[in-house]
Structure 1
Amino acid sequence: MTDATKAINALQSIPPDLPRDEWVKVGMGAHAAGVSFDDFDAWSAGAGNYDARACREVWRSIKPGKGVGAGTLYRVAAEHGWRMGERPQQRPMQAPRKHAEPPRKPAPGMSPAEVWGRCEAATAEHAYIVAKHAAGAPLDGLRVVPAGDPLRIAGQSMAGALVVPAYAPEGELQSLQLIPPPGAGKKLNLPGVPMVGASFTVGDMVAGAPLYLCEGIGTAWACWQATGHAAVVAFGWGNVRKVAEELRQSDASARLVLVPDVGKEESAADIAQALQCAVAYMPKGEERNFDANDLAQREGGDVLAALLEAATEPAPPPLPLSVAFADELPETFTPPDELVEGVLTAGDGSVLYGDSNSGKTFFVIDMAAAVARGVQWMGRNTEPGLVVYLAAESPASVRSRLQAYQRHHGVRVPNFAIVQSPIDLFDGDADTEAVISVVRQLERQRGQKVRLIVGDTLARLSAGANENAGQDMGLVVRRFDRIRSACNAHFLLIHHSGKAAANGARGWSGIRAAVDTEIEVTDSPAGRCAEITKQRDLSTKGQRIGFRLDTVTLGSTKWGAPATSCVVVPADAPDKPQGKRLSEVGGAVLEYLRTQPAGKKKREVVEHFQPLYDKSAVYRELKKLVVAGQVLECIGIVTANVEVRNGAN
């Protein structure tokens, strides 16, 4: 960042509507830091009490090397949040402060319309037009102050000055720029009327054609002559960004080309990046303020045209979200990467749930061990890799079940890591990052990729959270996704069924929506089964995997009794039960009756569920269960029919 660019950025970070004494000090600091009058004037124009004449008079009164230095500018900017290298905040136009003087009205005969109305048509013989070699440029939109006109600005007579109208974005005349013949004075803006956002266009805008954005009309003439394309005058570099914003807002697809003078390159690059404009830079090594008109006069319009044609656009900033366009997708289809064939997809998330003692943990350990070994599981291929098992519920139980697995299969499973520390994915991010760190360290130590992370169970991983509240479980899901994506591993959560087993997993339904795969494990008189109840990217939804649990003796207790565990053995999947899914009330009633082998009077069942459920709803669901054969009724006593346990899906 150049000193001038740094100073301009600092200046733009300060609200211009300061008390007069503070505004003057900032102006002195800006002057000392190398800010131009145009930039100071454009900044000052953002104040509600802006006075162009006062702005110029203050600037002219500043003596280089005396009074306030550049440090004041940076100190005030820092007080308003500016930091070196940061872009200034875009501050809205502020209302005048109560103690500020009201803006001055133009003196009689000094309004833009009055001055414009008494001017004469411009001709190619005007000395400024001749000096800029602008013969042939369109002049019908320009005028000249008549000889003998009393108009004076900052003590300088404007008689004979070329008048360039400055139009607001809506098209009305906003201000005027007056350019005396060469040697007769400086170009000046009409006092009392700001230039902010105003512009003048040389040539006709054509949709799809380049549109050149320049500081002054001399540069705009040169661009138009060299290319035939329209060029927009911004009346000073400090106004270029505002004009560019207006043009971009009116036509988001327009090809805007900034044509900065030498010394304004970094500022132009910033504007181009923010508004997606191209930039035509002057040749390197030229003196400060060298512009397109100077180049055209020295080397000809063809050279300038080539330079403008070569204008480059900055690389677009990266999108904050990943975006893919449909027409850019490859012709060949890449199927989902499967971790366990037809069951789990690599890098995704899943939930496996079931009743207590249904065999769900044995089932998961058996599948995870197959991944760790890189062997087939239940006739399905697996992608080998490390397994990290978060044994939040009972590490000792997981250890014994793996011992049983290894003894039964006569193997060792070296790539199966059991995390025995408590893990909390609800209250804070520390444990989340700890899991990610453990995964990365294990990968480095073992020289293998972690393919599968198991969370046992969701309830223990989210202790303290309300399982039915989206606000709480949403935090858990976010951290679940953080681990899964950071580790690029499949994350499987073991969960419990709800009170009504037929209604799915316990708690917030958003858990199901957040995962790619859902598996329900059931235990019925017909056998144990794992059914894929949701599958986002594979076609295996509805597939049922049968299994049984065989007992393995690991040793003896201190009382001499056999110490046993179980292992999963493939078995035929039981037929899928037919019938409608139970309602919440019906499922709760059926589960309650299963715990009452002697049965209950219907009245007692209704009283048990008060005030949780309305008594009419309980009676109605009891009747449905009896009709379906899932509940038996005899002389007013109802009991669960054990022959059709879990008979509703």
Structure 2
Amino acid sequence: MSKLNLISLLNYIEPSSCSYEEWIQVGMGLKQEGYPVSDWEAWSSKDTRRWHRGECAAKWKGFTNGSGITGATITELAKQGGWKSTSTDDRVLSWDDIVGSDSEYIIVDSEWVEGKEITDPGKKWDPVHDITTYLSTLFDSTDIVGYVTDVWEKEGRYFPTKGIAKKTAGEIIDKLGKCNGDISLVFGDTTPKAGAWVRFNPLDGNGISNDNITAFNYALVESDTLDIEKQYAIMTKLELPIACLVHSGKKSLHAIVHIDAGNYEEYRKRVDYLYQVCQKNGLEIDRQNRNPSRLSRLPGVERDGNKQFLIATNIGKSDFQSWHDWVEEVNDNLPDIEQLASEWDNLPELSPPLIADVLRQGHKMLLAGPSKAGKSFALIELCIALAEGENWMGFSCSMGRVLYVNLELDRASCLHRFKDVYEALDLQADHIKNIDIWNLRGKSIPMDKLAPKLIRRAQKGNYIAIVIDPIYKIITGDENSADQMAMFCNQFDKVCTELGCAVIYCHHHSKGAQGAKRSMDRASGSGVFARDPDALIDMIQLDVNDSLGRTAWRLEGTLREFKSFDPLNVWFDYPIHKIDRSGTLQDAKTPSELSQKERGKKGLESQTRSASERRSRYQEAFDACQFAAEDSIVTIDAIAQYFEVDEKTVKRDINSKRIGNFTYKNGIVIQPNKTGKGEK
């Protein structure tokens, strides 16, 4: 268990409720797990009655590793205090957890909020009225109320005793009505410098712990890190469901807030939520206040010359559920529900096409294919087509600014590729200023971290499209997990929505033969990849022999906004793709479409290839993989992906010595006597 977890667990263990043996066990467990004595000291000091400075350090020296007490003992004590270990969404949050993302549940900007004035009651102050109003607001007449007026003093500080917890609210209110303004006749004398306290939830008359609480109605919100006027303003703006708001007589307000829980478990969950929302909006809450048996300041008494007085009752939302629903509503950032009938005769205009008959502006497109398909070149061709208002793969494109996010190539190679493609397309760079490039090779981060940075940098770019190449560099989570990939793809939606532009990206095929699969099932990983984008363009290789060294590809489209187009056949004639206008590829088949006889013939042809050709192909693969690798190290896996075979096949070829002077060790392919970074 990590240090953070153990310290967090201590928040669920009240030192004042621990036996001496349990207190010692906590110290032993902390030492066993490598924590410093200061952590035990800080936790123990919360029990102000029993804690003595230096005692922890003295005990600590005698603890040995053979005691058998570990962090598991602390975990068990924390469980008894209400802590739960679970990864489900409805789990009880720990006190270090944060509700939602960094920007969620922020309603008030505490840096800019103006303080709200609090009026001192002055000479008109009526303590009896304050206490009576407080008690009648929080309690039924038959509820037993716990209060404290007796104190003990240590080093000039005053601390409450256990107090009295036997009288009902009705009995106290009745006596207040007959005391003629002398509340000491009801509560006894108070210590002027200390004030008085009250427990805001009813008790059973048998004690003052959490176990003696009979109804989990309220929680205490107290923060002393801001000016008291700012505390008041934030509490008001947060619409906290405050039953009673009391001035503590010092530097904080005590807000008694509706929790309305049916049991202790629900109380904890609701207080967790309440405190986290408060904390996100600038109210740093004392964590010890979370307990339902916690003491709060009793209005109607003086504390060191200052009044503990009642400021307001029943402000903000009427109950916890109403407040919770309001917080969720103002933070969901979701559009209102619409009635179709109201829009039927005045439908909004569709987003105009970005790529004619393929993709609309502001939508998402995925280009999927295996290695050697030239996917990056295809995306660069698309960037140029959008910048110049030209055709891409035969489809006309709108003209506008485009951002190419390069995650794979070094900067020089990327820039050269753009120029090479421009020249191969025989296009003049008349609108070259429409293309921006963000080179992130070696700097890429997961998409959930990249998205906000991308949005911030691109806000002023007025882009019609952002092209991300490739996405495997920024995938967050397991690409085979549907829920994790759904969250990953949601980041593209955020970019589209925030910037009002299309997001276009590419991904690789899974290993193995792909031709027999549906186009939307070929992309590697979860099916979310294929189902999420508005347009999926899939590339599958055709089985042809071309004397010019070109490769042939069939493009299939799965479209959400348009009718799917007929499969498009293209040649990849480095560095660009060219449409097969002659019809040469019309009857070409994918490898998986070949008959058994045809596959046998192809296999025989493969077996009878000259040794020089085999060596040439492996040398080509080695050089390509070395160029693509950031550290120039070529692995068995990289060669296997290049040829779309398994690693066993590559190892067998290398061991056969028929493909050149290659060896391998620990998964790394080595070519002896070849200079360069790939040499080991």
Is the shorter-chain TM-score for this pair beyond 0.5, marking a shared fold?
A: no
Structure with greater Cα Rg? 1
TM-score (norm 1): 0.43
